[in-house]
Amino acid sequence: MIRIKTILLFAVLAAQAFSYTDTIKTYFDNGQIESAIPYYNDLREGLAQFYYPGGTLKKEVTYYAGRIEGAVRIYSEAGKLTEMFVIENGRRNGPTDYFDTAGVYIESVIFQDGAQVYKNALEDVFNQKSDPGITDITKKIEDTKPAEEKPDSWNPVHDTKPVPPVVTKKQVPLEDDPAYYTTVDSAAVPRDGMEEFYSRIVYPKNALDEDIQGTVKIKVFVDKKGIVTNTELIEGIGYGCDEIALMTVKYTRFTPAILAGVPVNSQLVFDVVFSIP
């Protein structure tokens, strides 16, 4: 009788241990990993990854309480990003971004509650001819070049000595500069506002259970089209909050930074605050 109770107790403890957090991995017949799916309380929870038989990443999906909720990324067998979007309440919402075979951004299609409402919205913004900050960029740069200064003693009538030309540093058009600026006139910000940004933050259940609150600090690299090209965790709080913050920022479209009236690549430190109501 004592032995039976011991076995039952062990079984209960084993079940409870699994009901917290675990990652289940499956494999193809060739031994390559097929999927890695995190579970919490027997439900899919967190970032799940699926792979091609060759071993390259096929898809990344964010789960919450067993359902897809949040960022989704789809990759080609060559490992290049082909599509990314966000699922909210079981439907696509916001921009769906498409990339070519080299992983270069092509276009965006805007969805609302699963239905397409607009195409190439971002490109239209940057192609507006009436925008004084974007049109005729070359002319603006030419107009801002410093005038050649002549020495005070130089007299064009009486002085026959040849005067060497003033050498000025060649300016690189801002729109062609690959650098990521830290000092700009107007910093990059989430295009749809902070309220929309936080509406996509999924508070990890284990963080809620442990009453974890705080700020996750992320260095974000945003290109001149407002696309996040890279993120770096500066300061985290753990319990799954760091991963959620990083993924949400990666899938956020920004209004790009402005320097001298021109959209430019930029980097900034972005705070994601986790606060329990």
Residue 11 has pLDDT above 60, yes or no: no
Give the confidence band of 264 by pLDDT, cuts at 50, 70, 90. very high
What span, in angstroms and rounded, lies between the C-alpha atoms of 224 and 180?
9
Average pLDDT over residues 236-244: 92
Number of domains present in the structure of the chain: 2
Query: How far apart (Å, rounded) are the C-alpha atoms in residues 249 and 48?
Result: 17
- DSSP label of 127: T
CATH number at residue 198: 3.30.2420.10
118 and 182 assigned to the same domain: no
Phi/psi of residue 59, each to 5°?
A: -160, 145
Range of the domain at 235: 177-274
What are the tokens at 211? 């009453």
Burial level of 90, CB count in 10 A (0-12/13-18/19+)?
Answer: exposed
Please give the Cα distance from 71 to 90 (Å, whole number).
Answer: 12
Q: What percent of the chain has pLDDT over 70?
A: 71
Given pLDDT bands bounded at 50, 70 and 90, which one contains residue 196? very high
Which residue, among 176, 175, 195, has the nearest Cα to 260 in the 3D structure?
175
Q: Which one of 123, 143, 165 terminates a domain?
A: 123
Residue 239 Cα to chain centre, angstroms? 21
> C-alpha angle 81/232/177, rounded to 5°?
70
Report pLDDT digits (tens) over 52-108: 999 999 998 888 788 887 778 899 999 888 887 878 788 887 778 788 888 777 777
Residue 175 per-residue DSSP state: G
pLDDT (average), residues 203-210 = 87
Looking at residue 25, what DSSP letter applies? E
CATH number at residue 91: 3.90.930.1
Report if residue 221 sits inside a domain.
yes
Domain end call among 94, 123, 152: 123
Q: Residue 277 has what pLDDT?
A: 81
Residue 135 pLDDT > 70:
no
Answering whether pTM is above 0.85, one says: no
Report the alpha-carbon distance of residue 62 to residue 108 in Å, rounded.
21
The answer to whether residues 243 and 157 touch, using CB atoms and an 8 Å cutoff, is no
